[in-house]
Structure 1
Amino acid sequence: MKEYSDGFSRTAITLVVIAVVISSGILVVSLMQPNGNTTTTTTTTTTATNNGAGYGSAAVDYIESRRDDVVFYWSSNNTLVNEDLSSYYQATEPSAFVDGVFINQTESGADISVLFSPYHENIVGEGSIDSDTYETMNGALLDEGIGLMEDASTHPSSFPSTWPIELYIYIFFDDNTFFYLGHTSSDGYVFIRNGTWDGFTSGGDPSITGFVGDGHWLIEGGHLQTGISSLYSVITNNVDYPEA
């Protein structure tokens, strides 16, 4: 795990999530509501919903209802962060390796911290974006991303089922709940789930305490690519490799 002098230690939270299919082909799923309760719904795993009318759209509505509760985004252990961003920063520092990206929502937009290896050297690139840029990035990932995806009629038994993972991103809320999505392009799926966390571990990373429901499988269908590109551009356009 990487320890940083700013008091917030970020580490990859690589979660292996098992999607459980209940008898008769019914997948029971729950969306956590702002009051901490859950709403349980069902859908068959053999019929895909219309584009934009399934669980991806419901997830976007849920996140939009929580927009004022967002504390930070966290992303690590994926191609965008560890390969694409690393390659970009290697033009400045040939040995650069990006371990993770931390995006902290602010009143005026967001602050971005790009965290580099090695752990003990506290190499952090920092930048800020305005609210318009932040909203555009969110829109590309959510409204124009998972919000347009169909529910998967068939899917693997666990996530990730293939490698590499193109994107892992977590959204942590101020009431100790979180939402995350993961995408693997080799099989074309996006997996989304929410859960709970309780402060930070002794190392400083969010302490995951549980999950809500069994998660949702979506068909990526090319809808996430603009969001991934937007996230890459926002980071590289606003965060430089830190000066020595």
Structure 2
Amino acid sequence: MSRFFKDIKKFFNYTVFSSKAELKSEVAGSFLSWLWWILDPFFFMLVYSFIAILVFKSGEPYFPVFVFIGLNCWQFFSKVVKSCVKVVQSKKMIVTKVYIPKHIFILEKIGVYGFKMLVSYALTVLLMIIYQVPLSWRMFWALPIMALLVVITFACSTIMLHFGVFVEDLLNVITIVLQLGFYISGIFYSIENKLDGILGELLIKCNPIALIICDLRRVLIYNQDPHWVALLAWFVVGIVISVIGIRTIYKHENSYVKVI
């Protein structure tokens, strides 16, 4: 793992520059420019709020904030993981000419979508003020929970990057899996309130994204403690998977060039 941290330090400037370049390229030809980073999740929040409140008669308090928290987490996770499936192929012109540790591409994607998530959460804070969500010291627990989100996302992305090089149809499979994950992660409904008992506990504690979304809502909206034991367990799992993924990438990255 010492090699991993040395590579991060060595390629840090490249990672930052590449993330900034991708962000700029996304809005280069857009009339509204960076405003889309706010408008995109905001319009999604309006759509899901309309469906849940008017169609399904949801009575969840502070519902727009409730949806926004879940939607921001899910979009960060799903977009990073999905983009990493074919990230080596997309960087073919670079990979075939110079050596760059392939996990740097994952950190680049985390930088891009992490920045967008921070912009969206600035809007979340504004919504919390508008809806007069009570403030509490437990809101500071959102920081370690968000750190876990990054660890889990990185861990899954390392596996996707490796197998994405060799399995041509993996992107299609992951797209379907992520669609299923969207609906079982409680983005626009509360798993705790809708599914009582063992089933609800399993969906929350066996799905790290559902757990993260649930606990962010607990600390930001409801002034409740998160599921510390489950969070710690998933942090350990995330670190283990990350180590396995990094070692797998280092072991096989020379063969990536031959395959692509």
**What is the TM-score of this pair, normalised by structure 1?**
0.29
Report which of the two has the higher share of strand. Answer: 1
Pick the structure with greater CA Rg: 2
Greater helix fraction, Structure 1 or Structure 2: 2
